[in-house]
Amino acid sequence: MSDPVIRTILLLDIERFSDRDDVEQAYLRRMLYDITDRTLDSAGVDVTRRLRADRGDSVMELIDAGAPVTALLRALLTEVPAQLRTVNRMASRSAQIRLRGVLATGWVAVDQHGGWVGADLNHACRLLDADMLRAALRERAGDFALCVSDALYEGVVRHDHPGIPATDFSRVTLGSKNGPLTAWLHGPLPAPAEAAEGTGGTEETAEAADGTDHRGTGEGEAPGGSGDRPAPRVPMQGGPPEDRPAPDGQRGAPAPGAVFHFNGGAPSFGGSLVGGDQHGVSGGTVNGDVSLGGHERGESA
């Protein structure tokens, strides 16, 4: 195994990748690599200063510590969203690409099989897989959600460099199998994260917008989705049955089995108009319209 060296760690992951067929997955992978290359090129990170690992639905980049992190952050905040808009505006629904991203820093070594090892790399991978980051992307109108590690925030982001507003990042506590992790989320917090932050808890589950955890149940998902984005709610058509207007031709008709006696005077039941002569089952008749709660009434026979 090589000696550990300090590296900037960039991770990008495609949302709902496993829901697509083979042709769509191949297309999404090409778009992911194109977006990554364009972003790193715009940040001035030459291919000789980075090492890539393919993870199927995600890409991992180990970037030389000498490459400016500020330029990389600015590119992630501007170039990635711009690239995603360009790709998605011409893509079909099944070919839409949305990304979660993590930028971290730490010590990484390469073993004899070419694999990458290191606690800081494991930490970055857990941030990428955190439910809160998934929820942040799910609830956003945009197609990108970025999280940075606590070490990178303290070393770079908090100093408010041009194009990297520190106020745009919020401190979050992410749940993982190894315990809570501190990180900084760019942009608005998802609703479950706000609740967890307010109580000092950790984010353990990705909840839908209605507060219900639908994962694994198939409920609340968009058609063909994996639960990353809940289906929109369909409002109930009309009110309860008793509040809905009766169909034409039935308005004013008494309910089955009801008996009405109109022995003089104006019946008042609170607000509806019964049109036409009304005949009670006991023999009484009301001629003309009857206002149930209004001012018009017919003559009682």
CB atoms within 10 A of CB 99: 24
Of residues 251, 189, 296, the one with CA closest to residue 286: 296
**Domain extent listing, the chain:** 5-199, 247-301
- Cα–Cα–Cα angle for 117, 121, 127, nearest 5°? 145
Share of the chain above pLDDT 70, in %: 63
Residue 218: helix, strand or coil by DSSP? Answer: coil
- pLDDT, one tens digit per residue, over 4-63 is 999 999 999 999 988 888 999 999 999 999 999 999 999 999 999 999 987 778 899 999
pTM, two decimal places: 0.64
Instruction: Give residue 285's pLDDT band: very low, low, confident or very high (50, 70, 90).
Output: low
Q: 99-110 and 50-54 as β-strands: parallel, antiparallel, unpaired?
A: unpaired
- HSE on the CB side for 185, CA within 13 Å? 28
For residue 252, what are the contacts with CB-CB under 8 A and spacing of at least 6? 272, 273, 274, 275, 276, 278
Main-chain dihedrals φ then ψ at residue 290, nearest 5 degrees: -120, 125
Interatomic CA distance for residues 106 and 189, integer angstroms: 26
pLDDT of residue 140: 93
**Could you tell me the fold of the domain covering 5-199?**
Alpha-Beta Plaits (3.30.70)
Angstrom distances, CA of residue 88 to CA of 68, 85, 229: 29, 5, 17
Interatomic CA distance for residues 162 and 156, integer angstroms: 11
Residue 59: helix, strand or coil by DSSP? Answer: strand
Q: Is the pLDDT of residue 242 over 60?
A: no
Confirm if 171 and 123 have CB atoms less than 8 A apart. no
Residue 121: helix, strand or coil by DSSP? Answer: helix
- pLDDT, one tens digit per residue, over 116-161 is 889 999 999 999 999 999 999 999 999 999 999 999 999 999 999 9
Residue 297: helix, strand or coil by DSSP? Answer: coil
CB atoms within 10 A of CB 204: 16
Angstrom distances, CA of residue 215 to CA of 140, 211, 218, 219, 247: 19, 12, 7, 8, 41
Sign (positive/negative) of CA torsion 143, 148, 153, 157? negative
Tokens describing residue 209: 């917008």
Interatomic CA distance for residues 181 and 141, integer angstroms: 26
Is the pLDDT higher at 46 or at 271? Answer: 46
Average pLDDT over residues 228-250: 43
For residue 206, what are the contacts with CB-CB under 8 A and spacing of at least 6? 131, 132, 134, 135, 138, 192, 213, 215, 227
